[in-house]
Amino acid sequence: MTDLTQCTATDLLALYRSGEASPVQATQAVLARIAHLNPRLNAFCWVDENLALQSARESEARWQAHRQTGAQVLPLDGVPVSIKDLILTRGWPTLRGSRTVNPDQPWEVDAPVTARLREAGAVLLGKTTTPEFGCKGETNSLLTGISRNPWHLDHTPGGSSGGASAAVSAGLGPLAVGTDGAGSVRIPAAFCGNVGFKPSFGRVPAYPLSPFGSVAHLGPHAMTVADTALMMNTISLPDARDWTSLPHAEVDYLAGLRSGVAGMRVAYSPTLGYAKHVDPEIAAATAQAAQHLQDLGALVEMVDPLTEDPLDITTGLWFAGAYQVWRTLNAAQQDQTDPDFRAQAALGAQLDANAIHTLNQRRGVLGSHLRQFMQRFDVILTPSTAVPAFKARPAGHSPMTSEAMLGWTPFSYPFNLSQQPAISLPCGLTTEGLPMGVQLVGPMFGDAKVLQAAKALESCYPLRRPTLS
């Protein structure tokens, strides 16, 4: 029999259509696997079995009617999905990984992505773990503890969408929603061996907007590029609550997905022009990815789009955002915060209005430079991270500096500053058995092009899953 927990969303929809499996069977299988594995992984901080099974039964009725009479089914009908605990979900607490949020209050609002997923018939499973306020590239917090990597339980799944990525990798639902303010979708995707996509800023509506500003994107976690495109068709639908969102693009992200990369112009940048320390196995895997793209017909040129590391721009603006959140907390709440978040807020408190204005001006120069660079290329190819997943550590394990926070992921944050679409997809395992990822970055608004290139490159690699029992 098919192990429904190892099926992609696309697989599940095909099985439902044929009657070979049902949403109830798939949901029951995933819930059983969550109950078995989550005590070790700590990927979920909230699971609602009753609601999930109720949604699955409703979906199953729609599929039965579809097979009998041709009645309409919904785009994600019966597909299990998880929501990161930064994203509002009606009926469930959204604690943002923080002991400062009171769970005992009305939870009556769905964020845009949650609302669109419900409307598309998805089976919502629960909330996945995040560090406090999504503040770092590891998933640990004083509220939920340490989340772990399905490939090696003593390693981190990355962050801040570490719970989402670990869940997808481990077969705890084929789709998950994450957020990405400096790499928080792509880092855990690389560390956990799945696909993570950061769309163009504003392509997926958000509400409320992130306190960390216009670097924060929402995007899918999945095991395949096709599932990513499938999910984008739903979560990119418009929502008037996000005044920064882009005009709705009448795009089917599945259409043209298999068009290949023949003639596509690829800028292969092993270091982005400044990354000094890249793990040799990751560097070799990225070079191999460049060769794969060339073999598939792409025009690959080794060229660096940047010369200087914009780390201080990223962390400066991030620390300023942390301080703004900190200021909303009372003294008792501040005493309960994660030491990493507290340290970020303290660094942000040192920045005056002139310093923040200067950082934004420098960000503008960077964004303009990258927009002009992309006039010559369709995509940029880089490693996703400079290192594979490192050991899982508790909150506050090291002094907070810009380098400690993001220095090991130099390829992710520039494209939050520039707001470009970027995807991480798996490209093999290290000799230690840890996943590696490569990143494809497109021009602003070039989301479909990025998915098209990723689909072509994905064909060069087998789909790997961690062994968990």
Contacts of 143 (CB under 8 A, 6+ apart): 45, 95, 97, 98, 99, 132
State both tokens at 465.
């899953």
Contacts with 70 (C-beta within 8 Å, 6 or more apart), sequence order: none
Q: 214 catalytic, yes or no?
A: no
Looking at 98, 160, 200, 412, which residue is catalytic?
Answer: 160
Contacts (Cβ under 8 Å, ≥6 apart) of 226: 8, 10, 254, 257, 455
Catalytic residue, chosen from 55, 82, 84, 98, is 84
Of the residues 22, 184, 200, 418, which is catalytic?
Answer: 184
- With beta carbons less than 8 A apart as the criterion, state whether 83 and 89 touch: yes
State the first-to-last Cα distance of the chain, in angstroms, to the nearest integer: 18
CA distance 9 to 194: 14
Alpha-carbon distance 304 to 125, whole Å?
42
Which stretch of DSSP H or E encloses residue 80? strand 80-84
Which CA distances in Å does 307 have to 204, 269, 330, 459? 30, 11, 42, 32
Q: Is 184 a catalytic residue?
A: yes
Burial of 276 (C-beta count, 10 Å sphere; 0-12/13-18/19+): exposed
Say how far apart CA 347 and CA 324 lie, in whole Å: 11
- Which residues, 6 or more positions from 224, have their beta carbon under 8 angstroms from its beta carbon? 8, 10, 195, 458, 463
Contact assessment for residue 403 and residue 380, using Cβ atoms and an 8 Å cutoff: no
Give residue for tokens 């590239």: 137
How far apart are alpha carbons 360 and 317 in whole angstroms?
8
Residues in the chain: 469
Cα–Cα distance between 163 and 383 in angstroms, integer?
A: 22
Does the annotation count 141 as an active-site position? no
- Between the CA of residue 163 and those of 42, 156, 389, 425, what are the distances in Å? 7, 10, 14, 17
Question: What residues pair up with 82 in beta bridges, in sequence order?
Answer: 176
Q: Return the active site residues.
A: 84, 160, 184
